[in-house]
Structure 1
Amino acid sequence: MKQTAITKLQQDLLIKVVAKLKVEQAKVGDSLNESLLAQQFAVSRTPLRAVLVHMSTLGITKAVPYKGFVLQVDAQSIEIEGDQEESNQEQLYLRLLIDLFFGEIETAFSEKELQERYQSNRGEVQSVLRLLENDGILRRSPGYKWYLDGVLNTLERHSESYRCRLIFEPAGLLEPSWTLDLNGLENCRDRHVKAIQNPKSVTSSELFRLSADFHELLAACSGNRFLLGNMQQHNRMRKASDLVSMHFQSSVSKSCQRRLEIINLVLEGNNLEASNKLAQLLENDIRVMQRTYNHIVNLSQSEREKLVRSIADNNI
């Protein structure tokens, strides 16, 4: 197939899609949900479809009737121009996020301070700061300082986040505008089944992505854009703390099985029971968070540095 030309925006989107597939360890035959990917990267379906078509011309994906696009190669074998640059940015993003969570960085700081701390150039730092600003985690001052705004780095903030999610997430399954995304949920179910079958192969980053995609998919099915926006915001804010806690203490099989039960109920059309189960899942998450939070934040400096290096090295 003749290669298609893509814009700079689409090239950037391509790099992000490939990075996501690698994190999920996607395999040959896995489906790429167009709607969900567009929502996750906050773009319309038009540029996302252009990226998927371009991936087909590169032999990475293939359009299949009634299934959309499916992978023709394992994600880990995909190599594209700019992939390493994106990986470096992701590593800097994650390291900064985790350092903010642990309080290693002051609540106000400059770009120059970050360049010196992480031995990064100005462009890399500015790109990451813009991402964190879009995520609602940092805000820029009228001068040259940046301020911490929305990272979940206290027990009180964690509790508030979960209590908020308990209010809107289960309700989303009962919205009158609910529309089942069959392909998306089946793909999500298959990814959870694979994780349960081989839990030792699942990194903390992959486990977080499974959780985040599950919650965002249900919110997207609600048909209420404000519920989806809220869920995406909570996922962005909880990324650092969840990666740390999942790396420190987690059960892949148990957490995936709980979500799998909800997915199956939704696929059966039993949204009321799925809503109840989702509330129970969140209440369980609150208990787990409260048990492990104090232990995590009280790690020694050496234990903390070892943990951060392990997450950054193995999960990007």
Structure 2
Amino acid sequence: MLNVDKPIAAKIVELIGTEGLAEGAHLPAQWLADRLRVSRSPVNEALGLLHEQGIVRREPNRGYFLAQPARATAPELAGALAQEDALAGIYFRIAEDRLAGHLPNEFNESQLRRLYGLTAAQAQSLLTRMAHEGWVEKKPGYGWAFSPMLTTAESLLQSYRLRLALEPAALLEPGYRIDPLVLQRCRAAEMHLLKGGIETDTADQLHERGVRFHEAIVEGSGNPFFIDAIRRVNRVRRLLSYRAMKDRKRYKQHCRQHLEVLDLLEQQRNEEASAMLREHLQSTLRNFARLTDILRDKP
């Protein structure tokens, strides 16, 4: 049985072993997501990590394939995950330093390497992640700049106002349908948190769980404009979301509200689900005074 607390990359390798997959076996992202009961986004990220370590190979327009037998992957995977953990710690240091005002608006890769003791490859990996998440931008010619978006408590409030306008409406789209397997995965993630994950999961894991829930239910609308807008705001609000996670008391309430939305969607009571989702988002706004205090704290 798979251990739900393991990183996705480790669970993929474990699944490869339990399935007895041979070298060259195709690893469809949707199949992996269904077996691991997660969305495709973290699976694709994990496959990218395994590709970088040579454990799987990526073929254009075909996907990922097992590059070596499962028995040979353990040492490579251990090294990959150790490197990932080290970089995650530095990532959060950079995020905290930026939010605390310790970093300039513009910088170059050499400065980043010197400040945080990074190799060129590590600096590039971190800059790629930060750019993908929307809080740094490559300057024309040379250097980098921090994005002015979502670095204040007010900008996080604005992102919730946008979500409040869009997400409940997405549940009312004609032909709305959410796959039963998606409902099952979302429900399992909420139950994991209620059984202790709130206290033990990392900020990354908590944020991804929330993102997967909200994007999954919006994707049920089938409306690409809703879907694209929510994905964009989720990318750029990540930085402030991490700071808000210093206070995790509210997460039990959030989990219960998520579960109620899922139950209503399963019963096709979309108007009630939309109203519940609106109340869920509004509850965050009502507690925003407390959140802004957390976001203004110095690390």
Calculate the TM-score normalised by the size of structure 2.
0.74
* Aligned residue number for residue 32 of structure 1: 37
Q: Which segment drifts farther, 222-231 or 104-113?
A: 222-231
The alpha carbon displacement at 1:284 in A equals: 1.1
> 1:263-292, CA deviations, whole angstroms, 9 ceiling, x for partnerless residues?
111111111111111111111112223322
Q: Identify if the C-alpha distance between structure 1 residues 296 and 155 changes in structure 2 by more than 3 Å, giving closer, same or farther.
A: closer
Q: Give me the whole-angstrom Cα distance separating, in 1, the residues matched to 2:255 and 2:62.
A: 29
3-state SS, counterpart of residue 236 of structure 1:
helix
> 1:38-85, CA deviations, whole angstroms, 9 ceiling, x for partnerless residues?
788899xx989965x749x739xxxxxxxxxxxxxxxxxx94563333
Q: Give me the whole-angstrom Cα distance separating, in 1, the residues matched to 2:102 and 2:295.
A: 14
Q: Give me the whole-angstrom Cα distance separating, in 2, the residues matched to 1:252 and 1:54.
A: 38
> 1:131-188, CA deviations, whole angstroms, 9 ceiling, x for partnerless residues?
2222222211123221112542212211211111111111111122422121011111
Q: Identify if the C-alpha distance between structure 1 residues 2 and 264 changes in structure 2 by more than 3 Å, giving closer, same or farther.
A: closer
Q: Give me the whole-angstrom Cα distance separating, in 2, the residues matched to 1:238 and 1:106.
A: 20
Q: In structure 2, what residue type is equivalent to 1:271?
A: N
Task: Give 4+ residue runs of structure 1 displaced > 6 Å after superposition.
Answer: 38-43, 46-49
Q: Give me the whole-angstrom Cα distance separating, in 2, the residues matched to 1:246 and 1:122.
A: 30
* Aligned residue number for residue 281 of structure 2: 282
Output the aligned Cα RMSD.
3.7
Q: Identify if the C-alpha distance between structure 1 residues 217 and 105 changes in structure 2 by more than 3 Å, giving closer, same or farther.
A: same
Q: Give me the whole-angstrom Cα distance separating, in 2, the residues matched to 1:161 and 1:133.
A: 19
The alpha carbon displacement at 1:101 in A equals: 2.6
> 1:175-203, CA deviations, whole angstroms, 9 ceiling, x for partnerless residues?
22422121011111022123213344444
The alpha carbon displacement at 1:257 in A equals: 0.8
Aligned residues: 265
Q: Identify if the C-alpha distance between structure 1 residues 38 and 219 changes in structure 2 by more than 3 Å, giving closer, same or farther.
A: farther
Q: Give me the whole-angstrom Cα distance separating, in 2, the residues matched to 1:201 and 1:172.
A: 32
* Aligned residue number for residue 24 of structure 2: 5
Q: Give me the whole-angstrom Cα distance separating, in 1, the residues matched to 2:129 and 2:97.
A: 16
* Aligned residue number for residue 176 of structure 1: 174
- Unpaired stretches in structure 1, ≥5 consecutive residues: 22-28, 60-77, 305-316
Q: Give me the whole-angstrom Cα distance separating, in 2, the residues matched to 1:269 and 1:275.
A: 11
Equivalent in 51, 66, 70 of residue 58 of structure 1? 70
Q: Give me the whole-angstrom Cα distance separating, in 1, the residues matched to 2:164 and 2:289.
A: 16
The alpha carbon displacement at 1:110 in A equals: 1.0
Q: Is the 8 A contact 1:208 1:242 kept in 2?
A: yes
Q: Is the 8 A contact 1:94 1:240 kept in 2?
A: no
The answer as to 2:99 corresponding to 1:94 is no
Q: Is the 8 A contact 1:89 1:128 kept in 2?
A: yes
Q: Give me the whole-angstrom Cα distance separating, in 2, the residues matched to 1:265 and 1:235.
A: 24
Q: Is the 8 A contact 2:24 2:66 kept in 1?
A: yes
Q: Identify if the C-alpha distance between structure 1 residues 42 and 141 changes in structure 2 by more than 3 Å, giving closer, same or farther.
A: farther
1:1-316 aligned at under 5 Å gives the runs 1-5=20-24, 31-33=36-38, 35=40, 37=42, 51=64, 54=66, 58=70, 79=77, 82-149=80-147, 151-198=149-196, 199-299=198-298, 304=299
Q: Is the 8 A contact 2:153 2:292 kept in 1?
A: yes
Q: Is the 8 A contact 1:152 1:241 kept in 2?
A: yes
Q: Identify if the C-alpha distance between structure 1 residues 115 and 164 changes in structure 2 by more than 3 Å, giving closer, same or farther.
A: same
Q: Give me the whole-angstrom Cα distance separating, in 2, the residues matched to 1:156 and 1:282.
A: 16
Q: Is the 8 A contact 1:173 1:275 kept in 2?
A: yes
Q: Identify if the C-alpha distance between structure 1 residues 122 and 138 changes in structure 2 by more than 3 Å, giving closer, same or farther.
A: same
Q: In structure 1, what residue type is equivalent to 2:137?
A: R
Q: Give me the whole-angstrom Cα distance separating, in 2, the residues matched to 1:48 and 1:180.
A: 27
Q: Which segment drifts farther, 180-189 or 231-240?
A: 231-240
Q: Is the 8 A contact 1:189 1:260 kept in 2?
A: yes
Q: Identify if the C-alpha distance between structure 1 residues 79 and 111 changes in structure 2 by more than 3 Å, giving closer, same or farther.
A: closer
3-state SS, counterpart of residue 279 of structure 1:
helix
* Aligned residue number for residue 72 of structure 1: none
3-state SS, counterpart of residue 139 of structure 1:
strand
Q: Identify if the C-alpha distance between structure 1 residues 48 and 164 changes in structure 2 by more than 3 Å, giving closer, same or farther.
A: farther
